[in-house]
């Protein structure tokens, strides 16, 4: 087994460990995965992440939650054609 020593910013390491922990991975396991994928794909194909909604999505979720609590805030349709006509007008 080879040892690899790298130098990175303390904050970057802490933030990375937090995300990897949410994914159930250690820094060592993630580094090994990274190396194996680089060899397998001849590049960097990884897309491992914790989904974090952007501000617009967070606002939309909050709006829907308010509408669920108070249905009078939104508009309900029983006729798809009528809904589409109103949306497109």
Distance, CA of 16 to CA of 40 (rounded, Å): 23
Whether the per-residue pLDDT at 74 is higher than 90: the answer is: no
Our CA angle for 4, 5, 8, nearest 5°, is 130
The count of residues in the chain is 89
Q: pTM, whole model, 2 decimals?
A: 0.52
Q: Please name each of the domains of the chain with its CATH number.
A: 1-52 (1.10.1220), 55-88 (no CATH)
d(CA 41, CA 13): 26
Distance separating alpha carbons of residues 35 and 4, to the nearest angstrom: 12
The C-alpha atoms of residue 25 and residue 33 are separated, in whole angstroms, by 10
Q: What's the pLDDT tens digit per position in 36-73?
A: 999 999 998 877 788 889 999 999 999 999 999 998 88
């Amino acid at each position: 087994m080879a040892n690899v020593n790298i130098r990175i910013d303390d904050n970057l390491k802490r933030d990375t460990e937090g995300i990897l922990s949410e994914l159930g991975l250690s820094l060592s396991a993630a580094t090994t995965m990274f190396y194996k994928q680089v060899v397998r794909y001849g590049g960097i194909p990884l897309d491992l992440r914790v989904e974090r909604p952007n501000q617009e999505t967070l606002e939309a979720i909050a709006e829907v939650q308010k509408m669920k609590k108070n249905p009078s805030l939104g508009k309900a349709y029983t006729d798809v054609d009528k809904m589409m006509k109103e949306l497109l007008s």
